């Protein structure tokens, strides 16, 4: 059987997990030798997320499958192909299911979709992987909610404040900039006019440089939605933070 290999890494994974493109290709070559498969080529996506199927390398691979140039796709690990149940269902229905007639092989999970058992194992593994990601997301949200409730900083400090320990403390020069934005905005000045006036008046944004319309717009929007507080609620709990 003639198959095409697919390898993918994101920058973080390549640096921390050791599943480099070369390592994946080596695993696939060994798998083909063991199971008497012909590896036509290995197509790579470097620095690409597995959350979407819109990847140049994967598009090339699926095109080869669609044109019947190969009989199957081989990956070193299933999450190199996709990380979501919905995308996997799309791939199975369109390329690797009974009607499509092409096969999917995974080295790490020993998956071979030529059999019903292989397709069952595939669906179970993808379901478990998605459950794990959602569980991690829930734990992260719970942790952030606790930090917010106790008034502890868990993001970048907003304009007007700096971090001292795990609390926010006011920065007077930045608070004066916020007050000037509000004053100019209340007088009917446009966002771009406010940016120019702040720069001309010697007011400096948090990270230096020129004032950006997006920053001024965010301050004005926050003023309308949160009264006079200049600190976004996502950074602290009102009962526990300064200001």
Looking at the predicted structure, is the pLDDT value of residue 165 above 80?
A: no
The band of 67, judged by pLDDT with boundaries at 50, 70 and 90, is: very high
- Full-model pTM: 0.54
- On whether residue 58 sits in a domain, the answer given is yes
Of 139, 164, 140, nearest in space to 152 by CA: 164
- Give the separation between CA 174 and CA 203, rounded to whole angstroms: 8
* Domain count across the chain: 2
- The tens digit of pLDDT for each residue in 85-141 reads 788 888 888 888 777 789 999 999 888 888 788 878 877 877 777 787 788 878 877
116 in the same domain as 217: no
Tell me which residue range forms the domain holding 89. Answer: 2-135
161 in the same domain as 129: no
167 in the same domain as 114: no
183 in the same domain as 86: no
- On whether residue 48 sits in a domain, the answer given is yes
- On whether residue 148 sits in a domain, the answer given is no
The band of 147, judged by pLDDT with boundaries at 50, 70 and 90, is: low
- Give the separation between CA 141 and CA 131, rounded to whole angstroms: 15
126 in the same domain as 29: yes
- On whether residue 150 sits in a domain, the answer given is no
128 in the same domain as 177: no
pLDDT at 93: 81
Angle at 40 between CA 34 and CA 42, to 5 degrees: 90
**Spatial CB neighbours of 39, under 8 Å, sequence gap ≥ 6:** 3, 4, 5, 28, 29, 32, 74
58 in the same domain as 115: yes
129 in the same domain as 11: yes
- On whether residue 163 sits in a domain, the answer given is yes
- Quick one: three-class SS letters along 37-65? CEEEEEEEEECCCCCCCCCHHHHHHHHHH
- Give the separation between CA 61 and CA 56, rounded to whole angstroms: 9
104 in helix, strand or coil?
Answer: strand
- On whether residue 151 sits in a domain, the answer given is no
Q: Of 106, 135, 164, which marks where a domain is finished? A: 135
pLDDT at 112: 87
88 in the same domain as 38: yes
129 in the same domain as 34: yes
The CB density around residue 58, as the number of other CB atoms within 10 Å, is: 23
Looking at the predicted structure, is the pLDDT value of residue 13 above 60?
A: no
- The tens digit of pLDDT for each residue in 181-215 reads 999 999 899 999 999 999 888 898 887 778 888 88
- On whether residue 146 sits in a domain, the answer given is no
pLDDT at 57: 95
- Give the separation between CA 161 and CA 143, rounded to whole angstroms: 22
93 in the same domain as 171: no
Catalytic residues: 10
- The tens digit of pLDDT for each residue in 28-59 reads 999 999 999 999 999 999 888 888 899 999 99
71 in the same domain as 28: yes
pLDDT at 101: 80
- On whether residue 241 sits in a domain, the answer given is no
- Residue scoring higher pLDDT (86 or 18): 86
């Amino acid at each position: 059987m003639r198959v095409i290999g697919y390898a993918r890494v994101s920058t973080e994974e390549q640096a921390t997990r050791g599943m480099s493109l070369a390592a994946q290709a080596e695993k696939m070559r060994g798998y083909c030798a063991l199971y008497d498969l012909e590896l036509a080529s290995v197509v790579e996506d470097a620095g690409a997320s597995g959350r979407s199927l819109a990847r140049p390398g994967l598009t090339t691979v699926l095109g080869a499958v669609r044109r019947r140039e190969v009989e199957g796709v081989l990956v070193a690990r299933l999450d190199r192909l996709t990380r979501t149940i919905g995308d996997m269902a799309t791939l199975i229905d369109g390329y690797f299911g009974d009607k499509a007639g092409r096969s999917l092989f995974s080295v790490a999970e020993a998956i071979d979709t030529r059999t019903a058992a292989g397709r069952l194992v595939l669906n179970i593994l993808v379901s478990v992987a998605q459950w794990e990601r959602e569980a991690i997301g829930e734990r992260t949200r719970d942790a952030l909610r606790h930090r917010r409730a106790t008034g502890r900083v868990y993001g970048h400090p907003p304009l007007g404040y700096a971090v001292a320990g795990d609390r926010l403390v006011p920065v007077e020069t930045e608070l004066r900039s916020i007050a000037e934005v509000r004053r100019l905005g209340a007088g009917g000045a446009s966002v771009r006019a406010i940016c120019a006036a702040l720069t001309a008046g010697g007011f400096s944004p948090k990270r230096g440089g020129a004032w950006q319309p997006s920053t001024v717009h965010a301050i004005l929007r926050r003023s309308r939605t949160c009264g006079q507080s200049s600190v976004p609620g996502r950074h602290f709990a009102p009962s526990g933070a300064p200001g």
